[in-house]
Amino acid sequence: MGKAKMNNYLLLLTATLLINSSAFAQKFDQLAPSPPMGWNSWNKFGCDVSEELIMGIADAMVSSGMKDAGYEYIVIDDCWQVGRDESGDIIVDEDRFPHGMKYLADYMHSKGFKFGIYSCAGTKTCQGRPGGRGYEFQDARTYARWGVDYLKYDWCYTTTQDPQASYELMRDALYKAGRPVVFSLCEWGQSKPWEWARDVGHLWRTTGDIVDRWDAMMAIFDAQKELARYAGPGHWNDPDMLEVGNGGMTTEEYRTHFSLWCVLAAPLMAGNDLRNMNEETRGILTNKEMIAVNQDTLGRQAFCFRDNGDYEIWVKKLANEEKTVCLLNRSDESKTVELNIPVLLKASDHYWSSDPYELKDYTMRDLWSHKNIDTGEEITEVTLAPHSVKVYRFIKK
């Protein structure tokens, strides 16, 4: 081969390789500009999932006001799948889902919801059902055919698999299948997905599973402290789904759990039985002022401004130079604390400088009492019940 010919050949080869490797080496953009909101079956129902349950939840989402508050994705977690047929297609549990998944997806879409499903990067799911390993492209095509909008992808039975490569493979498979899907990585934070998953998925679990207990919830919260800088529009840290309403914490503790997830800009996936929830639970999950903080367009995760041991101050910057401050009393006793309001308003994550905001330009609002606070006294005392929060928003006048 002559030199010129050889050069042309190499050029063509490089171009072909580039096109092939980049054609679908990306996630779907613009799908999660704010943290995804919805419901997932796992925390309350485990493997006890069915068409009847999921349709009932969708109906309850509407009648309870959850849909109106912004909850959108309805996700079936583990145990909907029972095997693979001779051509490798995944088989849905026919007893529990008699009309199949497309029917369910259509129902969700007809009610204005998006439909989510669960699988796993390993050979089996965490409950021992068939996993996605080796079937990534085939499964992605199946999900697209059914009308799936959200995929939670777990990390059981992965033996020596490389996490990044495994999740990239499924990302590429979803992209190739052509139907936009929110990709939720459930790798439990083991390989620090916040360092590599920004271009792979829209959210990634940062820890192991949540348990419906105060100390377990707080341990997960504590693990988010150093991760604020990794979150932003389209790519969120996921401290796991909500336990609000599942019975293992007090109403006050659930209000704290929900508030912390809101200021963390965490995905808000309810995990309780929406068909039977009491007024307290409903009130927490549908607090629109708290949800607005979570969904704020700036997409910042709160940082810890002061850690005084039992008592902490967390600050979430919002769009339009607004700010939310969350006071947290993690102790078993009530606490009275002195607040210097102008200092809170200026609180910044850049320790060498503070925000130049002046109190006169803001209204301070309590997001649980839904009342404005009189900031005439710049230093004020606040009493926090055990395991409780106060959440304030500084609203531009």
Active site residues: 154, 209
Nearer to ligand GLA, 127 or 138 (CB): 127
**Two tokens, residue 54:** 């999921």
**Two tokens, residue 346:** 């200026």
What is the x/- site pattern for ligand GLA, positions 41-70, by CB under 6 A? -x----------------------------
Closest to 152 in 3D by CA, of 317, 231, 38, 8: 38
Q: Residues 205 to 234: which contact ligand GLA by CB under 6 A?
A: 209
Nearer to ligand GLA, 125 or 259 (CB): 125
77 binds ligand GLA (CB under 6 A): yes
**Under a CB-based contact definition with an 8 Å cutoff, are residues 151 and 101 in contact?**
no
Nearer to ligand GLA, 78 or 273 (CB): 78
Closest to 234 in 3D by CA, of 207, 278, 197: 197
- Phi and psi at residue 345, in whole multiples of 5°? -65, -30
What is the x/- site pattern for ligand GLA, positions 8-47, by CB under 6 A? ----------------------------------x-----
One-letter amino acid identity for 192? K
Nearer to ligand GLA, 113 or 118 (CB): 118
Nearer to ligand GLA, 78 or 168 (CB): 78
Dist. CA 86–CA 12, nearest whole Å: 40
**Under a CB-based contact definition with an 8 Å cutoff, are residues 347 and 315 in contact?**
yes
What is the x/- site pattern for ligand GLA, positions 239-278, by CB under 6 A? ----------------------------------------
Q: Residues 78 to 97: which contact ligand GLA by CB under 6 A?
A: 78
312 binds ligand GLA (CB under 6 A): no
Closest to 66 in 3D by CA, of 368, 283, 367: 283
Closest to 209 in 3D by CA, of 194, 219, 224: 219
The angle at the Cα of 239, spanning 234 to 241, to the nearest 5 degrees, equals 95
Q: Residues 172 to 211: which contact ligand GLA by CB under 6 A?
A: 186, 209
The angle at the Cα of 321, spanning 316 to 322, to the nearest 5 degrees, equals 50
Total residues at interface with ligand GLA (CB under 6 A): 9
Minimum Å gap between C-beta 229 and ligand GLA is 24
Nearer to ligand GLA, 127 or 348 (CB): 127
Minimum Å gap between C-beta 168 and ligand GLA is 20
Q: Residues 122 to 151: which contact ligand GLA by CB under 6 A?
A: 125-127
154 binds ligand GLA (CB under 6 A): yes
**Two tokens, residue 263:** 């200021």
**Under a CB-based contact definition with an 8 Å cutoff, are residues 203 and 32 in contact?**
yes
Dist. CA 73–CA 78, nearest whole Å: 16
**Which residues of the shown chain bind ligand GLA in the complex (CB under 6 A)?**
42, 77-78, 125-127, 154, 186, 209
